Amino acid sequence: MTPVIRPTNDKAFAETLIRHNMAAYHQQLGWHWDTALFDQQWRELESYKLFVNATPVGVLCLQQEHSAYHIRELQIAPSWQRQGLGTAALGYAEQHARQAGIHRLRLRVFSINPAMALYERMGFRVLTTEGGVQAMERRIV
C-alpha cells in the first residue's frame, strides 16, 4: 500500500499518535512523556502526515543534521501497521535525503520495539545501544 505523504503542522495529531504508540514502551522502561520537550522539538522538525484514501494514518518527522537525515518519528496508527506504510515512509525519507545531497539516514528505536525488524530489513545497522535504545544508521548509495 502506498500512502500519500504531505507536509503537516498538525502537532496534535502527531502527539496523540506518538503517545499512543509509545505508551507501553515508556511504561516498561519507566519513561515519562514530556510535553514541553515535544513542543520544542516539534518546531525543529520537518513533519509529514501519511494518508490512505484521505484518512490520516501516520506521521514522519525528519531533521537534517550535518551529514545525515535523522528520522525522529515514524509512527503508523495500529490498525494500519504491517501493511507497508512504514516501508513507504522510509523510502520517502531516503528520497528526501538524497535530494538534499545527504547519504545517511539515522534513527533511534527502543530495543524492545518490533519495528527493529523493519529497520534491519531496510538496511539499517546498529551503531550504539544505551538505556534500552538503539541508534541505527543506513547509508544511502
Q: Which residues form the domain of 34?
A: 4-139
Number of separate domains in the chain:
1
Which pLDDT tens digit goes with each residue over 18-28? 999 888 877 87
- Report the chain's terminal Cα–Cα distance, integer Å: 25
Taking the C-alpha atoms of residue 41 and residue 72, their distance in angstroms, rounded to an integer, is: 9
Which pLDDT tens digit goes with each residue over 112-140? 888 999 999 999 999 999 988 999 999 99
Beta bridge partners of 105: 69, 138
Alpha helices in the chain (DSSP H): 11-29, 35-42, 85-99, 115-121
Inter-residue contact 58 to 3 (CB < 8 Å): yes
This prediction has a pTM of: 0.92
CATH number at residue 101: 3.40.630.30
